[in-house]
Amino acid sequence: MKFNIDTHNWGGSGIGRTVFEFICDLIPAGSTMVELGGGACSTIAFASRYNLYTIEESPQFIAPNINTTWIYAPKKGDWYNRGSINKLIPKKYNLLFIDGPSGAGNRNGVLNNMDLIPPDCEIVLHDTCREEERWLAIELAKTLSKTPLFYDNGLKPTESMNDSWCHLSKKNISQTVDIQQQ
């Protein structure tokens, strides 16, 4: 599928262009990335630049024409079915993008599956203006001894969430960054 950054359909329930550009600055093209929760917006953009593995619980979001390794993993309990993931996820990858399972608070299962995350992996969580996702970012940061850097674009929890995310950094700082001021 052809990708053009200027004409891509950014936003809605998908990522904003600023999130994509942030990740492009974080890891080089050709790196391996795992995306929890696929979508037309993010998966198309990431697949254009990275060796992408997308874990998705809903068959209607799996698009075979997008150049990613799709891992269909329906929810089992509070998270994805590990049996499906264990067979296909790479042992080493450069970035984990957490945007699923879908719905507020449904991503917390990653805390019980930390063995899937390589120690030197960058982590970006989407939708962190939602209280549940912000909590998860802080808990993951504590567990992994990383610092949560929140990028909120001045959003309130009731507003559009496509430009709120958190990068778990190895740096020893903690701050919220308004991306309009960068």
CATH number, domain with residue 129? 3.40.50.150
Name the percent of the chain lying above pLDDT 90.
Answer: 64
What is the model's pLDDT at position 171? 59
Q: Is residue 145 part of a domain?
A: yes
**Which has more confidence, 140 or 77?**
140
Q: Does residue 101 have a cis peptide bond before it, meaning omega lies within 30 degrees of 0?
A: yes
What average pLDDT does the structure give for the chain? 87
Confidence at 155, pLDDT banded by 50, 70, 90: low
To which H or E segment does residue 45 belong? helix 40-47
Arithmetic mean of pLDDT, 18-26: 94
Whether residue 72 contacts residue 62, with contact meaning beta carbons closer than 8 Å, is answered with yes
> In sequence order, which residues have a C-beta less than 8 Å from that of residue 110 and are 6 or more positions away?
36, 79, 98, 116, 117, 136, 140
Q: Is residue 11 part of a domain?
A: no
Arithmetic mean of pLDDT, 68-78: 93
What is the model's pLDDT at position 174? 47
Q: Is residue 57 part of a domain?
A: yes
Q: Is residue 110 part of a domain?
A: yes
Sort 31 into a burial class: Cβ within 10 Å, 0-12 / 13-18 / 19+.
middle
If one counts the domains in the chain, the total is 1
> In sequence order, which residues have a C-beta less than 8 Å from that of residue 108 and are 6 or more positions away?
78, 79, 132, 136, 139
Q: Is residue 1 part of a domain?
A: no
* pLDDT value at 49 more than 70: yes
Q: Is residue 72 part of a domain?
A: yes
Helices 40-47 and 17-26, interaxial angle, to 10°?
30
Q: Is residue 9 part of a domain?
A: no
Q: Is residue 42 part of a domain?
A: yes
Host domain of residue 68: 17-181
Is the pTM of the predicted complex or chain greater than 0.85? yes
What is the model's pLDDT at position 182? 41
